[in-house]
Structure 1
Amino acid sequence: MESPVPRSALPTAEHRPAPARTGPGGARGRDEDGGTTAVTQPVLALDQGTSATKALVVCPERGVLASATVPVTPRHGPGGRVEADPRELLDSVVTAGRRALAEAGEPVAAAGLANQGETVLAWDPADGEPLTDALVWQDRRAAGLCEALAPHGPELQQLTGLPLDPYFAAPKMAWIRRELTRGGVVTTSDAWLVHRLTGAFATDAATAGRTQLLDLDRVQWSPRALELYGLADERLPEVVDCAHPVGVTTAFGPPIALTGLAVDQQAALFAHTAAGPATAKCTYGTGAFLLARTGPRPLRTGGGLVSCPAWRLAGAAEYCLDGQVYAAASAVRWLVDLGVLAAPADLDAVGSAVPDSAGVRFVPALAGLAAPWWRGDVRGSLTGLGLATRPGHLVRALVEGIAAQVVELTEAAERDLGAPAAALRADGGLTRSALLMQTQADLLQRPVEVSALPDATALGVAALARLGTDASLDPEEAAPPWRPSAVYEPAIGPDEAAARLGAFREEVGLLLAGTPGAPGPAGAAEA
């Protein structure tokens, strides 16, 4: 494979001031005495993720004024167990927020909180204390419960837009009720964090859409879905708009209104596409997540993707298609743990030491295959090894395996939308890998535009928080201007791309057939 060839490169570390914005009354941002208004005051954006919480202080005119990152450590165990200490999640949010505010050294108008989406826990609403650990979105212990509900899978997908899979929140919530505790309330992690920060009992429409308990069309809790999961008697949080005053927190010092809430991937989508549907985006983090906006009505998908609310503003929902790769940066970390890489930052250096994978094929289903296959029981495969195999070949094979899965998601979205994507917008930590981004462009046979905004999730929820303080703002006024830091063009032809994708699909077919070394059924890799 040729070396990475970005078409253009702009600095990614600096955030240029947004252009002056005007409204019906003229220039925004100054009151009659010349002081700044809430529209141009900074906001605090909190992105509570799987492996860290990131806090930014963001000003619409001056860009990112301060940032802080506090790591969190999920625990992996047998039987698909992936847990986190809820107190560590809360502490990370408070610590990161305080550090960012201290660095910025000026007050903020509001705060926004993005969350992991499908991570759940039980907790006591009287004092806010957790009753269980948090079951992280990757946790698979509810697989048996999903198998028992399989006859109702089509009904649940029609109601909620989500396939029956322990990845989503409802199976884990029901598992907690059956296996751990009947006490307190059981919710996604954002509702607990919001309660601890403000005392409110609320979740946003986008996060509620990740539970498989939300009526997709009405954007309200579904009595039928709750009944099927045995959760009909549960006290559930209020479903609010993503830009909405939820409460006031003093956790970071002076009182701050919490006015923006969103699940992480939808927040990133907002940062990418608030001004219009544009193209698909993929966030390369712990996993890889591709989303594409579909408009004000849900699009039931026939290609294995998820249909869910992207956000709800002023009572009006916007929808998206969503596809997942369970292991991306976590697969890179796996190579580090094995000693193949000294650190994740070595990915490109080690991979570039060899020209190609030398026939090594890696399906990095280390936590199962998500969309469009939905086979969480499948585990990864690494084939084509020989005495001449070197660390670089393993890295190349992993990079190609991640990129090939994103191609499957993109093509599924294109089939559902009935139109090809002109380009793929990319953000997240793994976009620092030129090797991965070039491989993505090669296999996709379309340009990959890497965001110049390195923290799209936090910037998206910052924009939602700003909208929550001023209902007269348009979404495109609140969101940061989008621009790429680099654009990767395909460096190979369509025939070579098709051959490499075909080899990956053959390996997936063998895994799905459950008989490694024997041909899988026709179309298994594309099911």
Structure 2
Amino acid sequence: MYILAIDQGTSGTKAIVVDGGGAVLAIAEEALRPRYLEGGGVEQDPHALLDSVLTAGRRAGAAAGVPLAAVALANQGETVLAWDPATGEPLTPAIVWQDRRAERLCAARAPYADRVAALTGLVLDPYFSAPKMRWIRDELTTEGVVTTTDTWLVHRLCGAFVTDAATAGRSLLLGLADGRWSGELLDVFGLGSERLPEIVASDAVVGTTTAFGPEIPVTGLIVDQQAALLAEACLEAGTAKCTYGTGAFLLAQLGTSPTRSTSGLATSIAWRLREETRYCVDGQVYTAASAVRWLADLGLISGAEQLDAVAAPSSDGVLCVPALAGLAAPWWDAAATASFTGMTLSTGRGHLVRALLEGVAAQVAALTALVGADLGAPLSRLRVDGGLTRSRVLMQAQADLAQLPVEVYPSPHATPLGAAACALMALDPSLDAATVVGGWRPSAVYEPAWPAARAAEHLERWQAAARLSKEIS
């Protein structure tokens, strides 16, 4: 049984063909570059998104040369657009999860913040879907439907009008307790008259498509970060992973109980599989690989592959708060800006590169501590995936600052492998999650080299710098 699994992300789309044992037979990638606009806008061309899905999927399928049993799709989660349901044509750009232009809409709804959090497990913030949906309606168009990108892409593939439970859980429109669209929340955002997609499980077959060759089922719909959580076998409460992509995303498994965070993190649906809903707590770092791309745009490095060669042995006292798109959990400050502090005339580009990597690691370390507080016990280890895990400097900094062993997932394809796992479960009722994703071993393990006191001192200085970034924004 061969699955075409597609990961439609912010910076590109990846397609893999995987067999029933998890072996990857073929890979194809199509690059995407969001448009970063003044005022916090981040947009993508929907036609480019769809073209990347079709092109990458067809290339991977052709390279594998095997009969496909299904296509699975992982999505960005909180990126939205308006589109015409009659023709499938987009009516607006895709407004990316990083976009901050709905901040004023959230500020106007501040009196509802506690109620929104109680119903959704999330924070009232432009990061999530509903504020951006409202912004589209106010600023761009009242025509068509407004949904997350997964709904549009699936509609273009097979005509269905659906979204999976995990994606719906990132919208600020889903009641966490019952897993249904909430009329009360729709009214908060003035979206009560909108047509919303059907919420389905990640192992539901939602239609068929001929977009990649002979007709095959469309299934395995899931948010990218939750897909990686599944692929890395974070199946027991207290297991956690961090994905280092455009941003860095830390998720910890909660099991079947949606325990609410008391630390400013988000609680949402991890997945709905085998008629069971599991939950996770998560925190975000808005800029990780996008911060590295910023370094490259400035000419400090040629690309991510040069990070370790350029990074100095130490930052020599330089601290970086890489809040180039604001600070996410637990600060939730859209206006926070990036900073370098502690520089002198002897500061060189190597110090800046290392400080930025340590700044990403410091934010993730702060999240690991908060997740531990929510779980009632500290994390014992952190599983990691994503392109930036190739940086030994970043991974060692992560182990040092979080004071945790960091286990690198052996495949660079955690997200599509998680979507493929959902598809395999859809096609074979005898399979369970543990059977499909269990048994992997890390390709590398980074143990903390810093003593705990040094890590604590560094994090205290970094937190002070982060507070200053907030104050001067």
TM range (shorter): over 0.9
Q: Does the Cα contact within 8 Å between 1:290 and 1:409 map onto a contact in 2?
A: yes
Q: Hey, what does 2:114 align to over in structure 1?
A: 154
Aligned CA RMSD, in angstroms, stands at 1.1
CA distance in 1, matches of 2:404, 2:66: 43
1:410-451 deviation line (CA, Å, top 9, x unaligned): 111000000111100000000000000000001111110011
SS in 1 for 2:411: coil
Deviation of the 1:274 alpha carbon: 5.5
The TM-score, its normalising length taken from structure 2, stands at 0.98
SS in 2 for 1:321: strand
Deviation of the 1:275 alpha carbon: 4.8
SS in 1 for 2:171: coil
1:350-391 deviation line (CA, Å, top 9, x unaligned): 00xx32111111100000000011011111111112211111
Q: Which amino acid aligns with 1:200?
A: A
Q: Which amino acid aligns with 1:512?
A: K
The TM-score, its normalising length taken from structure 1, stands at 0.88
Deviation of the 1:478 alpha carbon: 2.2
CA distance in 1, matches of 2:179, 2:321: 36
CA distance in 2, matches of 1:240, 1:122: 21
Q: Which amino acid aligns with 1:377?
A: A
Among residues 260, 276, 286, which one is paired with 2:236 in the alignment?
Answer: 276
Q: Hey, what does 1:520 align to over in structure 2?
A: none
Q: Hey, what does 2:359 align to over in structure 1?
A: 401
Q: Hey, what does 1:383 align to over in structure 2?
A: 341
Q: Does the Cα contact within 8 Å between 1:463 and 1:480 map onto a contact in 2?
A: no
Written as runs of structure 1 = structure 2, the 5 A alignment for 1:423-462 is 423-462=381-420
Q: Hey, what does 1:501 align to over in structure 2?
A: 459
What is the identity percentage for the equivalent residue pairs of Structure 1 and Structure 2? 60
Deviation of the 1:200 alpha carbon: 0.2
Q: Which amino acid aligns with 1:302?
A: T
1:178-200 deviation line (CA, Å, top 9, x unaligned): 11111100000000000000000
SS in 1 for 2:399: helix
CA distance in 1, matches of 2:141, 2:154: 22
CA distance in 1, matches of 2:213, 2:90: 23
CA distance in 2, matches of 1:259, 1:280: 25
Q: Hey, what does 2:125 align to over in structure 1?
A: 165
Q: Does the Cα contact within 8 Å between 1:274 and 1:476 map onto a contact in 2?
A: no
Higher CA-based Rg: 1
1:64-94 deviation line (CA, Å, top 9, x unaligned): 0001001112111111110001010000000
Deviation of the 1:141 alpha carbon: 0.7
1:96-151 deviation line (CA, Å, top 9, x unaligned): 00000000001111111000000000000001000101001111110110000011
Among residues 68, 86, 102, which one is paired with 1:108 in the alignment?
Answer: 68
CA distance in 1, matches of 2:438, 2:371: 25
Q: Hey, what does 1:20 align to over in structure 2?
A: none
Q: Which amino acid aligns with 1:378?
A: A
Q: Does the Cα contact within 8 Å between 2:262 and 2:374 map onto a contact in 1?
A: yes
SS in 1 for 2:272: strand
Q: Which amino acid aligns with 1:71?
A: A
CA distance in 2, matches of 1:275, 1:178: 41
SS in 1 for 2:206: strand
Among residues 461, 466, 472, which one is paired with 2:424 in the alignment?
Answer: 466
CA distance in 1, matches of 2:327, 2:16: 33
Asked if residue 221 in structure 1 is aligned to residue 221 in structure 2, the reply is: no
Among residues 59, 76, 95, which one is paired with 2:36 in the alignment?
Answer: 76
SS in 2 for 1:376: coil
Q: Does the Cα contact within 8 Å between 1:217 and 1:297 map onto a contact in 2?
A: no
Distance 1:509 1:314, change over 3 A: same
Deviation of the 1:62 alpha carbon: 6.6
CA distance in 2, matches of 1:280, 1:61: 23
Asked if residue 177 in structure 1 is aligned to residue 137 in structure 2, the reply is: yes
State the number of aligned residues. Answer: 473
Distance 1:274 1:500, change over 3 A: closer
SS in 1 for 2:279: strand
Q: Hey, what does 1:289 align to over in structure 2?
A: 249
Distance 1:66 1:480, change over 3 A: farther
Among residues 199, 203, 217, which one is paired with 1:243 in the alignment?
Answer: 203
CA distance in 1, matches of 2:22, 2:11: 28
